[in-house]
Amino acid sequence: MSATQKVTKMPAKHANVGVTDTVKKILANYESDNPGTKANICRLLMTGKLAGTGKMVILPVDQGFEHGPGRSFAINPEAYDPHYHYQLAIDSGCNAYAAPLGALEAGADTFAGAIPLILKINSSNSLIQAKDQSVTGSVADALRLGCSAIGFTIYPGSEHMLELQEEITQLSEEAKSVGIATVIWSYIRGPKVSKEGELAIDNIAYGAHMAAQLGAHIIKVKLPSDHLDLPEAKKVYEERKIPIKTQAERVQHVMQSSFNGRRLVVFSGGATKDEDSVYEDARAIYEGGGNGSIIGRNCFQRPREEALAMLDKIMDIYLGKDA
């Protein structure tokens, strides 16, 4: 009945070929979101070398705040400059650049409109001991800086978790009302959690699920190990023979735990390591149906040309061009 059904598609004569079906399907999963928020998720998915594929590579740079500047940037001193990261994210064809308030402010005008931004809205530092963060930005900041999303860290096992989840609930509600998307960094940490447990597949899957329940549009977790941590969970995983042997299987289980793939999940690799390990990670994420990588130190702690080459290869893996 609708007139548009009769419309003949004309081959586009211009670069901007429009949102792909893959991306449209992903957007349809965000059922309760207004078009403004969907437009920002769309922007994240329609930018860079992976535009339109449903895969993402995000450059996050909050290590200066979290670990200190020398420890983060001395190995590649160009990286002391906030502009360096904006430029790296753009030139490498990343989907987005994520950073705390000050770093975004320091380049927001030069790079206005050049790449989707994620304002990391809570922060901690290495001089304190608490597994906690506090709010260091606002939704209003995200709007005035032209950001597509806010980013927020939760520590599901921490004694501060209940407070953290209350904070992100309020911030995310406000963000959604003005068309800003929410990215949750979910890290397993806390008194009941062993060092090994921080990467345990049951805990990582649980952390991803909690982020989804808190209303995240995009979830960031670490790549899980095959360790099982919570006794009650371990029992079920073994009884039900949930496949968690390979990294790809574990990624698949995390996706399943994130509303059966209805939420975007990107994986981080942690500390700097050799290139082959980075590619292996990306391959496992690709095979397991994950949505991509959020990769910081492994980028900016390498010389720019090396980082660009590495990101190019990672994106090729997500494009299925990895032979």
Which 180-209 residues touch a copy of itself, going by CB under 8 A? 188, 190-193, 202-203, 205-206, 209
Q: Can you name the residues that pair with 225 across neighbouring β-strands?
A: 200
Q: Can you name the residues that pair with 308 across neighbouring β-strands?
A: none
What amino acid occupies position 171?
L
Question: Could you say which of 60, 100, 151, 290 contacts a copy of itself (CB under 8 A)?
Answer: 100
Q: How far apart are CA 199 and CA 245, in angstroms?
A: 14
Residue 321 engages a copy of itself in binding (rule: CB under 8 A)? no
Q: How far is the CB of 47 from a copy of itself (least distance, A)?
A: 6
Encoded one letter per residue, x for contact with a copy of itself by CB under 8 A and - for no contact, window 264-303 reads: ----------------------------------------
The secondary structure of residue 223, as a DSSP letter, is: P
What distance lies between CA 94 and its chain's CA centroid? Answer: 12
Tell which positions 2-21 bind a copy of itself, by CB under 8 A.
2-4, 6-10, 12-16, 18-19
Cβ atoms of residues 158 and 187 within 8 Å: no
Selection from 199, 211, 151 nearest residue 175 by Cα: 151
Q: Return the number of the residue (277 or 319) whose C-beta is nearest a copy of itself.
A: 319
Q: How far is the CB of 302 from a copy of itself (least distance, A)?
A: 14
Indicate the SS3 state at residue 291: coil
Residue 131 engages a copy of itself in binding (rule: CB under 8 A)? no
- DSSP string covering 8-53: PP----SS-----HHHHHHHHT-TT--HHHHHHHHHHHSSSTTTTT
Residue 312 engages a copy of itself in binding (rule: CB under 8 A)? yes
Question: Could you say which of 186, 225, 247, 257 contacts a copy of itself (CB under 8 A)?
Answer: 257
Q: How far is the CB of 196 from a copy of itself (least distance, A)?
A: 14
Question: Could you say which of 59, 84, 183, 267 contacts a copy of itself (CB under 8 A)?
Answer: 84
Question: Could you say which of 178, 194, 270, 273 contacts a copy of itself (CB under 8 A)?
Answer: 178
Question: Could you say which of 227, 248, 259, 287 contacts a copy of itself (CB under 8 A)?
Answer: 259
Q: Return the number of the residue (233 or 248) whose C-beta is nearest a copy of itself.
A: 233
Q: Please name the residues in contact with 207: beta carbons below 8 A apart, sequence gap of 6 or more.
A: 154, 156, 186, 187, 188, 221
Q: How far apart are CA 164 and CA 124, in angstroms?
A: 12
Burial letters for 185-203: b for 16+ Cβ neighbours within 10 Å, e otherwise?
A: bbbbbbeebeeebbbbbbb
Q: Return the number of the residue (34 or 277) whose C-beta is nearest a copy of itself.
A: 34
Q: Return the number of the residue (78 or 275) whose C-beta is nearest a copy of itself.
A: 78
User: Which stretch, 47-55, 273-281, 290-298, contacts a copy of itself (CB under 8 A)?
Assistant: 47-55
Radius of gyration of the chain from its Cα atoms, rounded to whole angstroms: 19
Q: How far is the CB of 275 from a copy of itself (least distance, A)?
A: 18
Question: Could you say which of 60, 65, 98, 298 contacts a copy of itself (CB under 8 A)?
Answer: 65
Question: Could you say which of 135, 249, 279, 283 contacts a copy of itself (CB under 8 A)?
Answer: 135
Q: How far apart are CA 84 and CA 81, in angstroms?
A: 5
Selection from 17, 49, 83, 30 nearest residue 261 by Cα: 30
Q: How far is the CB of 276 from a copy of itself (least distance, A)?
A: 21
Question: Could you say which of 22, 170, 246, 277 contacts a copy of itself (CB under 8 A)?
Answer: 170
